[in-house]
Copies of this chain bind each other. A is one copy, B any other.
Amino acid sequence: MAGHVTGDAAPAATGRKVHLRVQRIRPAYQQIADELRTQIVSGQLGSGDRLPSEPELCKAFGVSRSTIREALRVLASQNLVETRRGATGGSFVSTPDPERSVAALGASLGILVDTPRLHLDDLLEARLLLEPMAARLAAERADTDTISAVLAAADSPRQPSDPRSFSGHFDFHSTILMATGNLLFTMMGQPVADVLRTRLHRAEVVSSAEWDQANESHRVIAQHIAAGDPAAAEQEMRNHLNDLRPLYQRAGSW
């Protein structure tokens, strides 16, 4: 049948008990997605490059247009391509976007945290590793623009009831993560912070006094960063996160 794109993938010929389902042939749409992904990841197709049109891909792979479309859906939802309609439409290779990775990891953590594999304490522990170090690096590295951004973020206090807090600009912790100058801090720290924030927001267990105290800690941390004092910035961030711990644990018990 035309849809059988490649030959069989025989199951592992071993004596050990394996849990894989014996499925000889991957669906054609999956194989086509795999082939196109390989071209993208290897650099054969670069950011902004346009894939052949759907009819052209049909000819190239010898399959129907609905099979091609399913393959493109796979790639698009993995943020490898994006499609546009119209005369200049088509599927274009996406620009690498860390924000999407952050969102995807955050979604995974959000699901995992409600299973026995991941606990709130694990998130708090990881945060306690990342964010004090982030504050330290920010104090060491931040240029004047970055320092301005950190100070501004500390000066815009937020509470869950304030819708402006979540619209348009990063909050204080995000700004610190970015101020490290190392994108990995954001990619690792942001998903953790997002899950924790969502949980706190949902639980509605933080008093105004507690918010005021948190905002004050933000200001102190920002001032240490502005003053170029890494040790103080790190220590203050660690104290701040330790102070927050009971709030998260209170939220976690709901």
Residues of A near any B CB (own CB < 8 A):
21, 29, 33, 41, 43, 66, 69-70, 73-78, 84, 96, 98, 100-101, 104-105, 107-112, 114-115, 117-118, 122-123, 125-126, 129-130, 133, 182-185, 187-188, 192
Contacts and interface: CB of A to CB of B under 8 A. Distances in A.
B84 A21 contact: yes
Given A21-B84, A126-B182, A184-B192, 10 more contacts: A74-B76, A75-B77, A77-B77, A108-B187, A109-B187, A112-B183, A117-B183, A122-B183, A126-B184, A129-B133
A187 B74 contact: no
Contact of A41 (B96, B111, B125): B111
A180 to B, nearest CB: 9
Contacts of A188: 126, 188
A196 B130 CA distance: 20
Contacts of A185: 126
Contacts of A122: 182-184
For the complex of A and B, 10 pairs with smallest distance between CB atoms: A73-B73, A101-B108, A126-B184, A74-B77, A122-B182, A188-B188, A96-B111, A77-B77, A70-B73, A118-B183
How many chain copies does the complex carry?
Answer: 2
A238 to B, nearest CB: 13
B130 A129 contact: yes
Nearest to A137: B125
Interface SS of chain A: helix
A142 B184 CA distance: 27
A112 B126 contact: no
Contacts of A21: 84
A152 B75 CA distance: 39
Most buried by B among A69, A108, A185: A108
Nearest to A181: B122
Nearest to A83: B27
Contacts of A129: 129-130, 133
Contacts of A100: 108
Given A70-B70, A96-B115, A184 B108 contact: no
12 contacts: A21-B84, A33-B77, A73-B73, A73-B74, A96-B108, A98-B108, A109-B184, A118-B184, A129-B129, A129-B133, A184-B192, A188-B188
A104 B104 contact: yes
Given A70-B70, A84-B21, A112 B130 contact: no
